[in-house]
Amino acid sequence: MSETVLAARVGALHRSGIRAVMALAAQRERAGKPVIHLEVGQPDFPTPAHILDAACRAMQNGLPGYTPNAGITSLREAVAERVTRLNGRPVSVDSVCITSGAVAALQLALLAVVEPGDEVLIPDPGWPNYRSATTLAGGVCVPYPLNPVRGFAIDLDALAARISARSRVLMLNSPGNPTGAVFTAEQVASVLALAEQHGLYVLSDEVYEDLVFGGARHASAFTAASSDRVILVSGASKSYAMTGWRIGWLVAHPALAAGAAALVEPQTSCPATIAQVAAEAALRGPQDAVGTMRDAYGRRAQLAAACLEGTGLLVARPSGAFYAMLDIARSGLDSSMFVQRALEISGVAVAPGSTFGAVAAKNVRVSLASSDDAIREGLRRLADLLPG
Ligand code: PLP
């Protein structure tokens, strides 16, 4: 049999360490051993009933087939109205491209603006997909540090020092995965000014924009004051517990949104029609479920902080998204080894910090998209593994 030779880009991809833990946890469960799951970053709530009803009704009425590449016009309008309302920047439908999850919006944006060898500044720690999406677009990742001592705020001087003549895109993520940090309006404004000064695109991943608590406020990078080079990415997954529906969006200058829509054609033609109908129902329907979920994540962030009080393990109190970072330095292990031990010895699955970047090499990420009992018991067992 002839050997299967794959293109180099497959091997060049940075694979997420979170999936590796999920696989190990599943293996353990198959062997009949229980696992407390604190590794998975997806809402533990069901998609609200009115959204499911809208999708069912559409199917019963005979769903239309393909949609335009950029999505159903009425959904694009709903996104444009939302962004206009929330961000105070009037946006027309031409600025909106609906995508198969925010993950595709990020990839399309990079494919639309990155030339081979261009540098993309990515947060460290940051979501692992930023690295693979940059690589796939032919770009070179340049991590910039978030400062754990200052609640994972951006270190502006360190960021400025990493900008070069090849820099093309600056990626921002607030509320942040894995940090739970929410950047202040002043921090965002400073980053935008720096990007403007160097003619960079700002790719702002605001997929957790609705999940902010504890007195913090989300500051979008896409406002009336920001330049045409700011690209906003968000989606339905986190706000509406719709991860499996795979709907996200990109909002940008109309020429850029059109470029992204053109790139959809050879990949998926369009996002799934039924999911687009459901996402429109989510955006136009009652919003109380969003508030209920936000409050639950906020309460769990408080619970996690209370469980870890006095242990010195919590790196920074989360103000958004549904994650908390724990400092495991005193285990003497790197984060991957610690994660394996936590699973084997304590039956707790968490994500290794190293998968998010060098800054978090001695951290693990705990997901708060889990029940109170799982958080309480999981954190107790992790703390027991790390005697003070
Ligand atoms: N951006 C961040 C920071 C995420 O954590 C995730 C999902 O975990 C995404 C984007 C992708 O979300 P979606 O389900 O819309 O593709």
- Answer yes or no: do 168 and 280 share one domain: yes
What are the two backbone dihedrals, phi and then psi, of residue 235, each rounded to the nearest 5 degrees?
A: 180, -175
- Which of 284, 312, 347 delimits the end of a domain? 284
DSSP code of 314?
Answer: B
Q: Is residue 3 part of a domain?
A: no
> Per-residue pLDDT tens for 124-180?
999 999 999 999 999 999 999 999 999 999 999 999 999 999 999 999 999 999 999
Determine which residue's CA is closest to atom 3 belonging to ligand 1: 177
Q: Which atom of ligand 1 is nearest to the CA of 176?
A: 3
Which tokens sit at 362? 């001695």
Q: Which element (helix H / strand E) includes 8?
A: helix 8-12
Best residue for ligand 1 mutational test, from 42, 98, 173, 177 (most atoms within 8 Å of Cβ): 177
> Per-residue pLDDT tens for 238-287?
999 999 999 999 999 999 999 999 999 999 999 999 999 999 999 999 99
Q: Give the mean pLDDT of the chain.
A: 96
- Provide the whole-model pTM: 0.96
- Answer yes or no: do 341 and 280 share one domain: no
Which tokens sit at 193? 């000014």
- Answer yes or no: do 161 and 53 share one domain: yes
- How far, rounded to the nearest angstrom, does the alpha carbon of residue 380 sit from its chain's CA centroid? 27
Q: How far apart are CA 25 and CA 325, in angstroms?
A: 20
- Find the CATH number of the domain harbouring 61: 3.40.640.10
- Answer yes or no: do 304 and 243 share one domain: no
pLDDT class of 1 with cuts at 50, 70, 90: low
- Answer yes or no: do 164 and 254 share one domain: yes
- Answer yes or no: do 137 and 81 share one domain: yes
Omega of the bond leading into 43 within 30 degrees of 0 (cis): no
- How far, rounded to the nearest angstrom, does the alpha carbon of residue 219 sit from its chain's CA centroid? 16
Q: What is the pLDDT of residue 235?
A: 98
Pocket of ligand 1 (CB under 6 A): 41, 101-103, 127, 173, 177, 205, 207, 235, 237, 243, 248
- The position carrying tokens 């790390």 is 386
Domain that holds residue 329: 8-46+288-385
Q: Is the pLDDT of residue 2 over 80?
A: no
DSSP codes joined into one string, 90-155 = ---GGGEEEESSHHHHHHHHHHHHPPTT-EEEEEES--THHHHHHHHTT-EEEEEEEEGGGTTEE-
- Find the CATH number of the domain harbouring 30: 3.90.1150.10
Q: What is the pLDDT of residue 63?
A: 80
Q: Is the pLDDT of residue 387 over 80?
A: no
3-state secondary structure at position 339 = helix
- Which of 244, 260, 284 delimits the end of a domain? 284
Question: What Rg, from alpha-carbon coordinates, does the chain have?
Answer: 21
**Which residues of the chain form beta strands (DSSP E)?**
36-37, 96-99, 119-124, 140-147, 153-154, 167-173, 201-205, 230-235, 248-251, 323-327, 348-349, 351-352, 363-367
Q: What is the pLDDT of residue 19?
A: 87
* Ligand 1 centroid to residue 173 C-alpha, Å: 10
pLDDT class of 15 with cuts at 50, 70, 90: confident
Q: Is residue 83 part of a domain?
A: yes
- Answer yes or no: do 309 and 167 share one domain: no
What is the domain count for the chain? 2
Q: How far apart are CA 19 and CA 161, in angstroms?
A: 33
Which tokens sit at 354? 């190293």
- Answer yes or no: do 225 and 115 share one domain: yes
- Answer yes or no: do 74 and 130 share one domain: yes
* Ligand 1 centroid to residue 138 C-alpha, Å: 21
- Which of 248, 264, 284 delimits the end of a domain? 284
- Answer yes or no: do 318 and 238 share one domain: no
Q: What is the pLDDT of residue 342?
A: 97
Q: How far apart are CA 270 and CA 266, in angstroms?
A: 10
- Answer yes or no: do 172 and 265 share one domain: yes
CB 113 within 8 A of CB 201: yes
Q: Is residue 1 part of a domain?
A: no
Torsion of CA 231, 232, 237, 238, to 10 degrees: 130
Q: Is residue 2 part of a domain?
A: no
> What 3 state SS string does the chain have?
CCCCCCCHHHHHCCCCHHHHHHHHHHHHHHCCCCCEECCCCCCCCCCCHHHHHHHHHHHHCCCCCCCCCCCCHHHHHHHHHHHHHHHCCCCCHHHEEEECCHHHHHHHHHHHHCCCCCEEEEEECCCCHHHHHHHHCCCEEEEEEEEHHHCCEECHHHHHHCCCCCEEEEEEECCCCCCCCCCCHHHHHHHHHHHHHCCCEEEEECCCCCCECCCCCCCCCCCCCCCCCEEEEEECCCCCCCHHHCCEEEECCHHHHHHHHHHHCCCCCCCCHHHHHHHHHHHHCCCHHHHHHHHHHHHHHHHHHHHHCCCCCECCCCCECCEEEEECHHHCCCHHHHHHHHHHHHCEECEEHHHHCHHHCCEEEEECCCCHHHHHHHHHHHHHHCCC
Q: What is the pLDDT of residue 146?
A: 98
> Per-residue pLDDT tens for 21-48?
999 999 999 999 999 999 988 899 999 9
Best residue for ligand 1 mutational test, from 129, 132, 240 (most atoms within 8 Å of Cβ): 129
CB 125 within 8 A of CB 102: no
Q: Please, which residues have CB within 8 angstroms of residue 225's CB and are 6 or more apart in sequence?
A: 189, 192
- Answer yes or no: do 214 and 128 share one domain: yes
* Ligand 1 centroid to residue 103 C-alpha, Å: 6
